[in-house]
A and B are shown apart, each in its own frame.
Chain A
Amino acid sequence: KAGVTQTPRYLIKTRGQQVTLSCSPISGHRSVSWYQQTPGQGLQFLFEYFSETQRNKGNFPGRFSGRQFSNSRSEMNVSTLELGDSALYLCASSLGGALGANVLTFGAGSRLTVL
């Protein structure tokens, strides 16, 4: 079956602009999580959506937001971009039940460069 698809794969923006990233989860997966990956901070959790509701949120400013649609596809938005937002943004999907053993399936990521 198809994996997790993230678009776009690469993008370049300038400071102050905004960006929207898209994630299509594996069919049947109801949970979508977003992570920011940078060399300095590693993988940092942004937020998780389950059945169109934000279920968990990481410690990021309000410029970072997301949403999930009825078909489980998810988007994240970053407004007023800063240089420090340059990162690989990873989306992961899972079945999403309240199980600690949930395995995440990751997409290849969207690499954002802010100039």
Chain B
Amino acid sequence: AQSVTQLGSHVSVSEGALVLLRCNYSSSVPPYLFWYVQYPNQGLQLLLKYTSAATLVKGINGFEAEFKKSETSFHLTKPSAHMRDAAEYFCAVSDQAGGSYIPTFGRGTSLIVHP
């Protein structure tokens, strides 16, 4: 069965600092991986997705993530944080295990950006 672990329920950074949100997955087959962002009082929206085309994936708003099969990781980074990046971030994995493509989400990481 697939699973996702997001290390750290809260991450706090200063504006302009590097953002690193960690995600490790467990999947018995090559996975599809996603990062979604949720702003207050809104639904989730896609930041980026990995579909095996390239290990470094660029998303919206300056975010990118690198797929590392040996580490079963898909960490999300952004070189310089902005106040508007403050939100909840979810990593998700989807594979064909069990015949279903329903993504499994991590518990989420709340990004706090200090001025």
Whether A99 and B101, one on each chain, are in contact in the complex, defined by CB atoms closer than 8 angstroms, is yes
Whether B51 and A101, one on each chain, are in contact in the complex, defined by CB atoms closer than 8 angstroms, is yes
Interface residues of A in 1-37 (CB under 8 A from B): 4, 6, 33, 35
Whether B106 and A104, one on each chain, are in contact in the complex, defined by CB atoms closer than 8 angstroms, is no
A residues near B49, Cβ cutoff 8 Å: 101, 103
A109 and B105 in contact (CB under 8 A), knowing A101-B49, A101-B51? no
B residues near A104, Cβ cutoff 8 Å: 36, 44, 46, 103
> Within the complex, which residue of A100, A105, A108 is in contact with B41, where a contact is CB–CB below 8 Å?
A108
In the complex, the chain A residue whose C-beta lies closest to that of B6 is A42
Number of CB contacts from chain A to chain B under 8 A: 54
Whether B107 and A45, one on each chain, are in contact in the complex, defined by CB atoms closer than 8 angstroms, is no
Expressed in whole angstroms, the Cα–Cα distance for A101 and B103 within the complex equals 9
A residues near B51, Cβ cutoff 8 Å: 100-101
Interface string of B96-109 (1 = CB under 8 A from A): 10001111111110
A residues near B42, Cβ cutoff 8 Å: 108-109
The distance from the CB of A87 to the nearest CB of chain B, in whole angstroms, is: 14
Whether B95 and A107, one on each chain, are in contact in the complex, defined by CB atoms closer than 8 angstroms, is no
B residues near A107, Cβ cutoff 8 Å: 43
Whether B102 and A45, one on each chain, are in contact in the complex, defined by CB atoms closer than 8 angstroms, is yes
Which range contains the number of B residues in contact with the other chain?
A: 20 to 34
Query: For chain B, what secondary structure do more than half of its interface residues adopt (helix, strand, loop), or is it mixed?
Result: loop
Does A90 count as interface, using CB distance less than 8 angstroms?
Answer: yes
Interface residues of B in 80-113 (CB under 8 A from A): 90, 94-96, 100-108
Expressed in whole angstroms, the Cα–Cα distance for A103 and B106 within the complex equals 16
Does A48 count as interface, using CB distance less than 8 angstroms?
Answer: yes
Whether A100 and B94, one on each chain, are in contact in the complex, defined by CB atoms closer than 8 angstroms, is yes
> Within the complex, which residue of A43, A48, A106 is in contact with B45, where a contact is CB–CB below 8 Å?
A106
**Can you give 5 A-B contacts (C-beta < 8 A)?**
A33-B102, A92-B44, A103-B46, A107-B43, A108-B42
User: Which A residues form the contact surface with B (CB < 8 A)?
Assistant: 4, 6, 33, 35, 42-43, 45, 48, 56, 90, 92, 98-109
In the A-B complex, list the 8 residue pairs whose CB atoms are closest, starting with the nearest. A106-B43, A100-B32, A43-B105, A42-B107, A106-B44, A100-B94, A101-B51, A100-B101
